Amino acid sequence: MHKNEELHKFLLDKSWQLTEDGNASLDKSKPAGVYSSQNPVVIKNLKQQNYRFHLQLCEIFIKDEKQFTQDIHEWILEIVKDEQ
């Protein structure tokens, strides 16, 4: 993978805003959807997971392919196991 530390830093600096913007743009009208929850604990957890996704994805610009793939795979398994 092409290494680009400047892009990595730029995206890291914007990652929380990306999380907030993404959350604000979600369709929260479907009552059965997890994103329509009004529970502050659920909302906080979803935002944290989304934020951590952005952090993980930014690593593509500084890690070699094998390490990036391993790390994102571990993160995916962690998210899949989350029962909230």
The predicted model scores a pTM of 0.79
State which residues form the domain around 33.
Answer: 5-81
> pLDDT tens digits for 7-52?
999 999 999 999 999 888 887 777 777 778 888 998 899 899 999 9
Domain count, the chain: 1
CA 75 centroid distance within chain: 10
